[in-house]
Amino acid sequence: MTTAVERFLKYVSYDTQSDEAYDTCPSTKKQLLLANELKRELEEMGASDVRMSKYGYLFARIPDNTDSTSAPQEAEASFSTASAHGASDVGQKATIPALGFISHIDTAPSLTGTNVKPRIVQAYDGKDIVLNAEKQIVMKVSEFPFLADLKGQDLIVTDGTTLLGADDKAGVAEIMTMAEYFLSHPEIPHGEICIGFTPDEEIGRGADRFDVKDFGAAVAYTVDGGPIGEIEYENFNAASGKVRIQGASIHPGDAKLKMKNAILIGMEFQSLLPVFENPMYTEGYEGFYHLDEMSGNVEEAQLNYIIRDHDHEKFEQKKKFFAEAADFLNRKYGKGTVIAEVTDSYYNMKEKIEPCMYLIDTAKEAMTACGIEPEVVPIRGGTDGARLSYMGLPCPNLCTGGYNYHGKYEFIPVDSLQKTAEILVEIGKQFAALAE
């Protein structure tokens, strides 16, 4: 069998950055190179119904090898009831719902994914890690104090010029390793397991063309989280905010009471937002306004924001305040000077997961069985699982083991890659065991 580490090191050699500048799906054709390789590997290892849509969504299936009946959506309620009371209490073997595992193949546009050069730091000594001596790029313990907790482990790091791609090629490698395990060990009982790899998650489109019915699972996990042991079923409510400002460019020598500097008005808009509701000052369940991009000149400017909060009421208040800031500036500078548009992106999946908390309990038990301490944490971001949960596929998020995603300091411990693959296998076993 191929290890999760071997798979991961292979997959990060594929440049799969998505790009929101393009409206196609996938947004970049290079994502299909990895998708086709995964399709080939799944077929080679004996997975069933391996298929890829014209949009680059790759699905496959590992058939149920137990005596029970695996079923999609309608199986969820009976499984939940049987899990709560025990199969013997209901007088029959519980139905095993078809279980899904999902990861995305694209990497973030924030830093290049071309020519990734991973390196394994063996038996990490707990000190600063020189990623690139020539460019003097160093990952410092003073900036990332959690590094001290990883002393003695082997770490896969970048050379400081690219991201690593653990988000989410680690998840892809772990799912593929799980798949090969079950397909290579038909004596191990499991229900139906559905596998899904999606494009364009990093630009918010991963679930856009995800066919839940065709996927076939009743419940699923995205494998797209952070450090080993994390389980997530609460995420931000999310919206994007676009502010367009129409100024008036006048020669600065003759500008008094005539010029409207769009850039300065944009800066003023930012100054109206609460200072401490900013990502650099928030943690846990605290929401924020994040100015992600600003461009323009005196005549016109644009500011792009993301707006986040776990609490739905606070989320609505943030969107309202955003609009009120624009209204204030229009009263000051004239109607039509500032146009603010807010578009919801996704919502907190908590309310969709709470009716089937056996998903969380099963993940906890699987981690414990693998010697990992589970920790339920809120996602300070989003996941395809949030949108899929609202599309009828309850889908909490599991760890991949990685750290410092989307940048040159991204890394993942070797042991975390291997352990997460083991956890996925154990979840498959736990589902079958609950139905006995």
Most distant pair of Cα atoms in the chain: their distance: 88
- Report how far residue 27's alpha carbon sits from residue 199's, in angstroms, rounded to the nearest whole number: 8
Helix axes 4-11, 414-434, angle to 10 degrees: 120
- Is 104 marked as binding a ligand? yes
Q: What value, to the nearest 5°, has the Cα angle with vertex 303 and ends 302 and 306?
A: 145
Residue 178 corresponds to which tokens in the numbers above? 């799980």
- Is 251 annotated to bind a ligand? Reply is no
CB atoms within 10 A of CB 297: 11
- The CA distance from 330 to 244, in Å, is 12
User: Using omega within 30 degrees of 0 as the cis cutoff, is the peptide bond preceding 26 cis?
Assistant: yes
At residue 421, φ and ψ (nearest 5 deg) are -60, -40
Is 232 annotated as catalytic?
no
Distances (CA, A) of 84 to 59, 79, 163, 335, 428: 31, 9, 43, 59, 18
Low-confidence ranges of the chain (pLDDT < 50): 74-91
Tell me: is residue 224 an annotated ligand-binding position.
yes
Q: What is the pLDDT of residue 381?
A: 79
Q: Does 214 show up as a binding residue in the annotation?
A: no
Catalytic residue among 64, 76, 106, 174: 106
Active-site residue among 15, 41, 201, 230?
A: 201
Number of residues assigned to the chain: 436
The predicted model scores a pTM of 0.85
Residue 123 burial (CB count, 10 A) = 9
pLDDT of residue 96: 87
* Domains of the chain and any CATH numbers: 4-234+348-434 (3.40.630.10), 237-346 (3.30.70.360)
347's CB contacts (< 8 A; 6+ apart) are 237, 238, 312, 386, 390
Query: pLDDT value at position 435?
Result: 61
Q: What is the pLDDT at residue 380?
A: 87
Asked whether the bond before 292 is cis by omega within 30 degrees of 0, the reply is no
- Separation of CA 368 from chain center: 23
Strand partners, 156: 120, 412
DSSP type of residue 299: S
Judge whether 106 counts as a catalytic residue.
Answer: yes
235-to-5, 146, 270 alpha-carbon distances in Å: 29, 23, 25
